[in-house]
Structure 1
């Protein structure tokens, strides 16, 4: 197997050491090969990721993340900058995500539906209750739910919560960058400037409240950071 990609792992994430010299297209194939070979070891893992050995553009980072998530059951939660405190930062971020996930999954207990995997352009999920997506919702994909929508990944497509007309529902995403969201009969579209947003959360320093929630209030839709106070009210 090619040594252009090496995986250094710890309890909370993985560091990819990448060959700086081979063409990116070949490197991407080697990433897929490497992770397929390691599928049993990382099965269903939720991890932070960092990169070493090669300077990558944002687009290249995104393509590597997509290659991993599309060919394995790994869920990449965030990107962490490589450094001496890397494992500590990964630990804090994973614990933060796990706490957020548990809180919103508890809010969706009962008859809620679950879907694991990335929704690609053209795919539509409809639910008569609340729905939790463990993965990303790409541009061109759509979720329609009569209850709440919880996306444990990035929302980059369309989402409609409270589709039967309930404005009390919410839409939550670890990375909120939708084309359009709707709660009840209220609709909001992202401005053009949002297209410059990062694909995944990038962690140079420990941060909180990067996840966001969309709620309807006073006839408008508001997208707000997820704070401890909001979680306690769930």
Structure 2
């Protein structure tokens, strides 16, 4: 049995322990062979994916995701760091998504999704032409832009734009929702703390506190932020 690629399953997903010395094309072939052998064990599970033993570029991570999804029926929800605090945040998001009936499009069979991890600092812009999942925080002065919907497994304290090509049926999800400015389709709204006007964000407070997952959607000419509750994704 090869030791260059070791697959371990934990409570919330899959951990890949990868050899740090062999060339990436050879490693990718070993991953392909490994999941062809073991893929049926996971069936149609939606899972988080983490890596250990090797530093991978974003492109290499995406190629590994493509290899797994092409050779199994596993749906990769996101990539997480091998970090207990981040794993806890991922657990919270997965449970909230399951409770709310979150559509599988976030993990994407019929809709492509870009995955990134890391915090966006002031002045940084992250843009995607599909749906986007960010594992990290969007800090004040940073901006995340997507032609589809946005899922942030962290804090949104900067700017976020979903449906950048004009689609008003997209959404923005964050584990902590404290944006400076949101845009969905052609609607733009700023935080009431920053600018008081009729287009200010209409926000429903969550009794669970400001750190509970929240969802921003376009409704009746306004952008509304609501707590994630059962069934809230059904009408998106």
Measured against the shorter chain, the TM-score band is 0.5 to 0.7
Aligned to 2:88: 88
Q: Residue by residue, what CA displacement relative to the aligned partner does 1:132-186 show, whole Å, maximum 9, x if unpaired?
A: 696256xxxxxxxxxxxxx4x51x7xxxxxxxxxxxxxxxxx99xxxxxxxxxxx
| Residues 104 and 93 of structure 1, relative CA distance in 2, 3 Å threshold | closer
The offset of 1:212, in angstroms, is 5.4
- Name whichever of 207-216 and 40-49 sits farther off: 207-216
Q: Residue by residue, what CA displacement relative to the aligned partner does 1:184-234 show, whole Å, maximum 9, x if unpaired?
A: xxxxxxxx9725999653258952789956417xxx645998346286494
Aligned to 1:201: 134
Q: How does 1:1-234 map to 2 (within 5 A)?
A: 1-85=1-85, 87-100=87-100, 102-104=101-103, 135-136=108-109, 151=111, 154=113, 194=127, 200-203=133-136, 207=154, 214-215=167-168, 221-222=186-187, 226-227=215-216, 229=226, 232=232, 234=235
When normalised by structure 2's length, the TM-score is 0.52
The offset of 1:61, in angstroms, is 0.6
Tell me the number of residue pairs that the alignment of Structure 1 and Structure 2 aligns.
156
Structure 1 gap segments, 5+ residues each: 106-131, 138-150, 157-173, 176-191
The offset of 1:97, in angstroms, is 3.2
SS in 1 for 2:63: helix
CA contact (8 A) 1:80 1:203 kept: no
When normalised by structure 1's length, the TM-score is 0.52
| Residues 230 and 56 of structure 1, relative CA distance in 2, 3 Å threshold | same
Alignment root-mean-square deviation, CA: 4.1
Q: Determine the C-alpha separation between the residues in 2 that align with 1:133 and 1:29.
A: 27
Aligned to 2:180: none
SS in 1 for 2:127: helix
CA contact (8 A) 1:10 1:87 kept: no
Q: Determine the C-alpha separation between the residues in 1 that align with 2:135 and 2:67.
A: 18
| Residues 195 and 24 of structure 1, relative CA distance in 2, 3 Å threshold | same
